Amino acid sequence: MKKSENNPFPVPSRQDPAAIFVLVFDIFRRLVVQFLPLLIIFFFAGRGSTELIFLVFAIASAGISVFLSILHYFRFHFHIKKDSLVIARGLLNRTRSSIPFERIQVVNFEASVIHRMLNVVKVVVETAGSSGSESEISALKKADAIALRDYLLAMRDDAVESDETIDTAIKEQSLQQTAGEKIFSLSVWDLIKIGATNNHLRTAWAIVGLGVYWISQYWVYMDDLEEFPILGMLTGVFDSLVASFIVMAVLILLLVSMVLSIGIAVMRYFGLKVMKVKGGLKVSAGLFNQREFSARNNKLQIFYWNTNPLRKLVGLFSVTMAQASSEEGLGSQSIGIPGCSMDQVNQLRDQFFESTSLEPNVFFKPDKRMIGRYFIFFGIIPLGLMLIPLYFITGQWIFWIFLLLPLILLAIVVYYRKLELRINEEVLFLKKGIIEDTWKLIYLHKVQSVELNQTPYMQQRDLVNFRIYTAAGSIMIPYISMGEANRLRDFILYKVESSRKGWI
């Protein structure tokens, strides 16, 4: 029987009726998030009309959500033609998207709590230039979703095999998204260690920044603090704070940041499993919103792993597999593993670089003059510019901020010592870091272009910043000699032009 006769959706079809409830929940959630700051202010105000405001908002939001969801459901159709998947959507302005089989990269499933309660999944069809919701089906029964995925991938494989312009290696790497061998998984205890060893300073700054943003956006509604009993009480507490309490507040902020980091890690990566399938890897994870990602061997552009001092203590590394994507969706194709052992990093790396020698033939290091230039631009000049606003704020010159210069110089020296580029006949290897160490691997035949950049200072001293571009981002090694840069550029371009392997 021909595959075309097995088409599960030959005529325009609607989503599962459960899509209405999924859309209602999604639209209602967006409305709540949009108006949450105003609702919080009304709550703090403690006025008698607060309950009425909440009731009116809830009824209006629910009504709008149901109305729009029903319209979306009846205005959404999809079907499979002879050579493409067709999706039609839109309330007033109708949009009809056609996705050719040969452009389909992977078909992933996502399942939020609502999806799992209704026994449906969201189907996401990814292409090299996919644009999010244009290639999504909000809710299908699991059996229908599997039938759709299997048929699309089978037709994709047929289309790829019939295209003589496609590289033979890519044909052999066609991904069949079926159950495969499990490489490893992360337990809840692993996720707790990952969250506890995260960058808590970054999370703390995010909390502070969010608080400042909310206050700045809605302070105009707070004409009289006496109308806000809770805020008035907090103001009195802050007025009585002394230095010791400020230190305590910082410690509490860091503790809250750590707890928040652990919670985010558990919710985002709960039940994470890495499966080995034909042509690549499949990663699934999520507590409330289960998501499934596929990493194809031929799409991988940059493989990198990193760690920080806290994670080194418990032997954890995070891994990112950056895949080729369109310029509009750059960054959306990266797949991350938040924490794994070095043995597991090697397992993932061998999946993409199994037969490749990682032993470098040539090392490249920046010129030592990089230290002095970075010290000027990232140390002396920024601190000097900070003196002026600090003078207007405090009324005196605060020269003690220059005590930070030794720390800045130390950070630059550490960065210089760790920064190096290694290369052999097949791969590039970049190592860098200050506190957090990062290692990156790139196949030479994946390189898209090479750029040599010089400032006037560098022109006088025959130094260049050497940048290498791929379809998933770029890497750079600064302040190498012009002679080394030319030799490196010529070698990379020679390997790209002489390679018979495709970059995707």
Average pLDDT, the chain: 79
Where is pLDDT greater, at 256 or 81? 81
Residue among 93, 92, 89 nearest 75 (CA): 89
Task: Return the residue matching tokens 């600064």.
Answer: 478
Q: Is the pLDDT of residue 154 over 60?
A: yes
Least confident of 186-195, 257-266, 322-331, 481-490: 322-331
Alpha-carbon distance 177 to 135, whole Å?
18
Least confident of 26-30, 100-104, 208-212: 208-212
Where is pLDDT greater, at 500 or 349? 349
DSSP string over 182-211:
EEEE--HHHHHHHHHTS-HHHHHHHHHHHH
Q: Please give the pLDDT value at position 331.
A: 43
In the chain, residues under CATH classification 2.30.29.30 are 362-498
Q: Please give the pLDDT value at position 175.
A: 42
Q: How far is CA 421 from CA 365, 442, 503, in A?
A: 7, 11, 21
Largest CA distance in the chain: 86
- 449 — phi, psi (to 5°)? -160, 165
Task: Give the tokens for residue 232.
Answer: 């008035």
For 388-444, how does the pLDDT look when each residue is reduced to its tens digit (9 = 90+)? 887 777 767 677 778 889 999 999 999 999 999 999 888 999 999 998 999 999 999
Residue among 326, 329, 347 nearest 337 (CA): 347
Where is pLDDT greater, at 274 or 280? 274
Q: Please give the pLDDT value at position 170.
A: 42
pLDDT tier for residue 295 given thresholds of 50, 70 and 90: confident
Q: Please give the pLDDT value at position 169.
A: 41
Alpha-carbon distance 478 to 202, whole Å?
26
Alpha-carbon distance 120 to 25, whole Å?
14
Q: Does domain 3-166 have CATH number 2.30.29?
A: yes
All residues at 6 or more sequence positions from 371 whose CB lies less than 8 Å from its CB, including other chains: 409, 412, 413, 416
For 27-48, how does the pLDDT look when each residue is reduced to its tens digit (9 = 90+)? 777 777 666 666 665 665 555 5
pLDDT tier for residue 218 given thresholds of 50, 70 and 90: low
- What percentage of the chain has pLDDT greater than the value 70? 74
Q: Please give the pLDDT value at position 45.
A: 54
- What percentage of the chain has pLDDT greater than the value 90? 28
Q: Please give the pLDDT value at position 247.
A: 66
Where is pLDDT greater, at 178 or 153? 153
All residues at 6 or more sequence positions from 317 whose CB lies less than 8 Å from its CB, including other chains: 305, 306, 307, 311, 339, 340, 341, 342, 345
Q: Please give the pLDDT value at position 168.
A: 43
Task: Give the tokens for residue 226.
Answer: 């006496």
Instruction: Name the fold adopted by 362-498.
Output: PH-domain like (2.30.29)
DSSP string over 414-448:
HHHHH-EEEE-SSEEEEEEESSSEEEEEEEGGG--
Q: For 408-417, b where at least 16 C-beta lie within 10 A, e where not — what string?
A: bbebbeebbe
For 449-458, how does the pLDDT look when each residue is reduced to its tens digit (9 = 90+)? 999 999 999 9
For 373-384, how does the pLDDT look when each residue is reduced to its tens digit (9 = 90+)? 999 999 999 888
Alpha-carbon distance 214 to 229, whole Å?
19
